[in-house]
A = this chain, B = another copy of it.
Amino acid sequence: MTSIKKLKIGIVGGTGYTGVELLRLLALHPHAELVAITSRGEAGLPVADMFPSLRGYVDLSFVDPASADLGICDVVFFATPNGIAMQQTRALLDNGVRVIDLAADFRIRDVGVWEKWYGMQHACPDLIGEAVYGLPEFNRAQIRNARLIANPGCYPTAVQLGFMPLLQAGVVDPASLIADAKSGVSGAGRKAEVHTFFAEAADNFKAYGVGGHRHLPEISQGLSNIAGMPVGLTFVPHLTPLIRGIHATLYARLKTPCDLQRLFEETYRNEHFVDILPANSHPETRSVRASNHCRIAVHQPQGGDTVVVLSVIDNLVKGAAGQSVQNMNIMFGLPERTGLEVVPLLP
């Protein structure tokens, strides 16, 4: 394997869960060479001291963003809170560095909507138009040529992949979609919030953000793009005592009789990372734990006019770091699965 061309990779903000997950995947990626991982608060600390799971695989220390020479990178991943990537992206692009933002800075086309939901002014609204929404199963061609990728959110990935066959085929009423989604606690990130403490979140289940969640406009925009028309969506996220995993239970009203199983299988026939289960299946979140797969089952209970789609992903992989590596592979002409051949961990 001596002659493999390596991509020089930088990671901004490597101390959160998407950061350590990127490191897990990139550490064994045959074409990846990690050159810098930044952290304002932990500069100087060996990455593997914070995450002992990386001992023997990642030898880098965190560097201060100010002293990191990201300009030598082929690609920089932002695994940062919202609002950071937009401040540094232009300079990187100007240096010929491609950017993949795992946060939400470039996901919403309408900057007014973005500013309302994220509560800040956008630093580079002109780049929003250039950014490509990195959902390969919908957008692969554009990703291939992108300089700037808006990596989709975790809920949006699970929900869009589940609704896509129905909306593309036009067989359901787009005005009354329901997404009842359940997420593991790692989706909240590695930061101090009371409701994510073990003694709060374990043996407990609750909905949150029913009145409005930041992923709602992202999902609505994505579904509208897929449907080619505006959609009406009710989105209810729930916090579940899982470390990892999203389970989206999707409801739509069928307008046109349709062989749903076949529709789903054909839509994703050539997609390695979307797996349509046999009829009458119920995908489990653990069946994709640690892997970049989305597994989907479709049901039509009692033969009625309500379609139920069950869609599961690992929120840190297909819902974040894995999908960003998939996007990187596409952008640099690598086989899409490179570095992503991980058998899910069960049990």
Contact = CB atoms under 8 A, between A and B. Distances in A.
Interface of A: 17, 20, 23-24, 27-28, 51-57, 176, 178, 180, 182, 184-186, 188, 190, 192-194, 196-208, 210-212, 232, 234-236, 238, 240-245, 247, 249, 251, 253, 272, 275, 277, 280-291, 293, 295, 299, 301-302, 304, 306, 308, 310, 312, 316, 341, 343-347
Contact of A199 (B23, B249, B347): B347
A52 B345 contact: no
Contact of A245 (B51, B204, B235): B204
Could you say which of A185, A192, A199, A235 has the most chain B C-beta atoms within 10 Å of its C-beta?
Answer: A199
Given A190-B197, A197-B190, A345-B345, A211 B301 contact: yes
A52 B199 contact: no
B178 A197 contact: no
Number of identical protomers: 4
A280 B345 contact: no
Contacts of A194: 190, 192
B199 A232 contact: no
A217 to B, nearest CB: 11
Could you say which of A53, A196, A277, A341 has the most chain B C-beta atoms within 10 Å of its C-beta?
Answer: A53
A243 B202 contact: yes
Nearest to A185: B198
Given A199-B17, A240-B240, A232 B53 contact: no
Contacts of A308: 210, 234, 236
A277 to B, nearest CB: 7
Nearest to A295: B52
